[in-house]
Amino acid sequence: MRKSSDALFNLLTQSFELIEGVHNELVTDNLKTVMYKPRKERTNGRINRRFK
């Protein structure tokens, strides 16, 4: 998991640097790197602590 989360953080950092800023909210799908428990129709899921 560490490599994939490092890769995601790297990608996000490069993206934010390219657009010269960050958004208030980032919407993702149920990436395992982001979600500890996936969102489902009736639940919000749980976000991975490291991603918060």
Task: Read off the pLDDT of residues 18-39 as tens digits, 9 standing for 90 and up.
Answer: 999 998 888 888 888 889 999 9
Give the separation between CA 47 and CA 33, rounded to whole angstroms: 9
Considering the domain boundaries, does residue 37 fall inside one? Answer: yes
**pLDDT mean over 5-17:** 92
Query: Over 80: is that where the pLDDT of 7 sits?
Result: yes
Q: How high is the pLDDT of residue 42?
A: 93
Tally the domains of the chain.
Answer: 1
Q: How high is the pLDDT of residue 20?
A: 95
**pLDDT mean over 6-25:** 92
9-35 burial: b if 16+ Cβ within 10 Å, else e: eeeeeeeeeeeeeeeeeeeeeeeebbb
Residue 36 sits in which domain range? Answer: 2-47
Q: How high is the pLDDT of residue 29?
A: 87
Is this structure's pTM higher than 0.75? Answer: no
Considering the domain boundaries, does residue 52 fall inside one? Answer: no
